[in-house]
Chain A
Amino acid sequence: MRGIKNFNIASLVVFAFVFSVSSAKADWLNFRGPQGSGYAENIANTPAELGEAQVAWKAPLPGRGLGSAIIVGEKVFVTAASGPDQNQLHILCFNAADGAPMWERRFWATGRTMTNNKTCVAAPTPASDGERIYALYSSNDLICVDLNGNLKWMRGLTLDYPNASNSLGMASSLIISENTLIAQIENDSESFAAGFDLTDGTNKWKMDRPKAANWTSPTLLKIGDQEVVALQSSKGILGLLPATGSSVFNYEKGAATIPSGAAAGDKLYTPSNGLTAISATTDGSAPVELWNESAQRPGTASPIVIGENVYTINGAGVLSCADRQTGERLWRSRLTGPFSASPVAGANGLIYVVSETGVVQVIDPSSAEDKKVTSEYELSETILGTPSLSDGAIYVRSDKHLWKLGK
């Protein structure tokens, strides 16, 4: 019960914060929202109940994709890939209010489009700085448009770096910090990470990365006033200053290459030897390992930190809640799996997960142990993409449709 008590206290603090900034824009700007970690304390009133009545709209999509939607103001952006070889790349913009298509841009892939059948070319989630949309594809095409669809720049990273590809497909998503767009283009061959200038797409920095396939996405730590981007790979976690790519810490005990970590302030809960909590600094010293729990190994879904707890979903579809200070497991609950999508949550602390079979589930951590799943809604399509949140709503996409559930 300790975890629930902690959560309730944290909820009050969060509620007070949200109330005080209720006029602030609550956008969802990249994969797993704030800090790339799944939890958005400034997004309010996400739905507690899901059903037919909560389907605000459902829009058809022109091609496959498992990257999440991102939300900027009253616009929703999503990518897709179509054609026999998935070599048609799409960026789509919808009106958040009614799902009406606003504009679409299409491009021919310039890199390799081969992927494993389960994934697809539009696997990475785009990112936004609130002014522009940055879209990355498995073909390593990196495209920037403004919110009205005006093309600002384009990079063909496989044209520039010909061996940077993965025949299973690339999937790492983008993140933005300190006016820098950060991408992990990591694979068995020409493996690198880079920071791109937001305005023209040129390299601000580029660094070699371990030559090993890696589908994880960068997360952002906040260490004092400094944002630090955490790059996860089979070798561990590398902390970098976003604008320069300068290394500030290196955790060398290895990490997973599919689920990403979850950041909370200067702490990172990373899928390493199960789940490991580390505390990082910017002074070049090695991160401090706070705890390690081999039993809390995430499956494909990434962990999420809400209040004082950290949640993981294992490969069998069991959700575990642990005290994030100690790693002690507080409770477990079997969900309807399997999962490729990661959990997300807003200010009310309700956790949203979507199974590969399209069952959207609402989890209330404060509910009784055998009734954690408080609502379910079946979308009846394969869903591999992580949901996105905005005030009052949750967005889910499949290969064929984009749904807005809520208001």
Chain B
Amino acid sequence: MKRIRIFIAFSLLACISLSMNSVRGENATLNPLLTALKQVGPEGEGNAEAAVAWKALTKHGGEAIVPILEAMSGTGPLTRNWMRSAAEAIFARETQSESAVDAVALIEFFNDREHDMKARDLAYDLLNRADTDEAASLIPAMLDDPSPVLRRLAVAQLIAQGESELKDGKIDASLATLNNALSAARDIKQIDEIAKLLRKDLEQTIDLPKHFGFLSHWHLIAPFDNTERKGFDTAYPPEKEINFETAYDGKGSKKVKWQEYATADDYGMVDFNTPFSPLKEVIGYAYTEYNSEEARDVEIRLGCKNAWKIWLNGELVFGRDEYHRGARIDQYILPVKLKKGKNTLLVKACQNEQEQTWTVEWQFQLRLCDSTGTAILATDRKPTPKPEVKTRRRGAEKESEEKAKE
């Protein structure tokens, strides 16, 4: 027996005139409480007042859930958590007492994609707890949902469908389904899973770096000194100027110059060890330019197990002095603003003194996307290099031509 009574059969019209006044009254009561939750800030600021408001808020009935979800719009991660836990506390109490939760209002809220992504995730979660079948019926329409959490559910269904079609020998149908899934997928594991099926079982060519939005073409310069890890805070010439023609003093007074580099790696890995050979206690820089169609918000998403710093248009975005504790795609998410036209990106990748086999890597992977993980491509994006020419550096082609002549 369902613990929730879903009001889908109820007439909305019958409630409208009654509810307008009660909603106004309800909001008047809720607003000061929600405002208190919005006041929480850094280092515990506003916590005491928020706790009082939270308790008062959770005394409200199920009719307060949607206004709480609505109030999440434009708030920060702490406030959203205060509001989430209040909404869930009300939901749990109401459902335990067999009280009704207005599923129609939750569905309406969920269906409006202008609402806060996290709030919509929560609305769906509550719906799912209230009525699994009703929630499941919404999944196919989530394929282009702005929320990665919701989109993942729809993509999972398509992957299962594509696998099933493949198993049944319906090759064309499977190809269409999986291509559809790939276009929609933002979750890295799902993208991996789909790409494997398309490549291995359906012999398709997939440009994963483009799908993810990895930047594959760079200029690299190295090595500069990082003895005793002091290079992290040392501003070497690339932090002061970008000049591809000048030779600079590198580690041990060796002259170093910028060189072209392109990676064919599916996950955009820029590997300093390839052009410069594995080195220790060194610094490398990578530079690239990115043409943006418009001035806009984007996220720089970085994976790196070395210490690193990133500059966008000459401004330091963030830096982190952790070495060899692990890396993954989208390990660090850095919200930034691109300007229209040319933008410059400079990455500093630091290698330390550790000698263990798992400390050899001197590399990073970087992509630009929106907050949902959708790739934002440069207007002048170069084609992804072919896998057989995994790395290219200045002179490499000439060398290979000479070897071929021999």
Contact = CB atoms under 8 A, between A and B. Distances in A.
Contacts of A159: 42, 76-78
Contacts of A110: 77-78, 81
A153 B49 CA distance: 10
A116 B325 CA distance: 9
Interface stretch (B11-19, B210-218, B326-334): B326-334
A106 interface: yes
Interface in B88-144: 88-89, 92, 118
A22 interface: no
A116 B42 CA distance: 28
B51 interface: yes
A107 B85 contact: yes
A155 B328 CA distance: 26
B89 A149 contact: yes
Interface stretch (A4-12, A200-208, A361-369, A392-400): A200-208
Contacts, number: 102
Nearest to A199: B48
B81 A160 contact: no
Contacts of B78: 110, 154, 156, 159
Nearest to A211: B321
Contacts of B55: 150
Interface string B290-331: 000000000000000100000000000010111101111001
A152 interface: yes
Contacts of A153: 44, 47-48, 50-51
A314 interface: no
B44 A200 contact: yes
Contacts of A84: 152, 187, 189
Secondary structure at the B interface, as helix, strand, loop or mixed, is: helix
A397 B43 CA distance: 32
B77 A108 contact: yes
Contact of A154 (B40, B152, B326): B40
A151 B325 contact: no
Contact of B85 (A105, A166, A200, A202): A105
A162 B54 CA distance: 27
A275 interface: no
B58 A202 contact: no
Interface string A57-96: 0000000000000000000000000001000000000000
Nearest to B77: A110
B322 A189 contact: yes
Contacts of B332: 112
B150 interface: no
Given A163-B320, A200-B47, A108 B325 contact: no
B84 A152 contact: no
Give the residue among A104, A108, A160, A202 with the most B Cβ atoms within 10 A. Answer: A108
B229 to A, nearest CB: 10
A188 B321 contact: yes
Contacts of B80: 108
B82 A154 contact: yes
Nearest to B96: A103
Interface string B31-72: 000000000101111011011001100100000000000000
Contacts of A154: 40, 47, 78, 81-82
A266 interface: no
Interface string A176-217: 000000000001110000001101111100000001010000
A103 B92 contact: yes
Nearest to A157: B43
A114 interface: yes
B44 A116 contact: no
A201 B42 CA distance: 11
A166 B322 contact: yes
A192 B277 CA distance: 36
A196 B43 CA distance: 10
A60 to B, nearest CB: 16
B77 A187 contact: no
Contacts of A116: 326
Contacts of B89: 105, 149-150
A187 B321 CA distance: 10
A168 interface: yes
Nearest to A194: B43
Contacts of A114: 326, 328, 331
A380 interface: no
A326 interface: no
B141 to A, nearest CB: 21
Given A159-B42, A203-B44, A105 B88 contact: yes
20 contacts: A84-B152, A104-B92, A105-B88, A105-B89, A107-B84, A108-B118, A112-B332, A150-B51, A150-B58, A150-B89, A153-B47, A154-B40, A160-B43, A166-B322, A187-B322, A189-B321, A200-B44, A200-B47, A200-B48, A200-B51
Q: Enumerate the 10 nearest inter-chain pairs by beta-carbon distance, A residue then B residue, closest first.
A: A202-B44, A153-B47, A167-B325, A167-B326, A110-B77, A188-B322, A201-B44, A200-B48, A200-B47, A107-B81
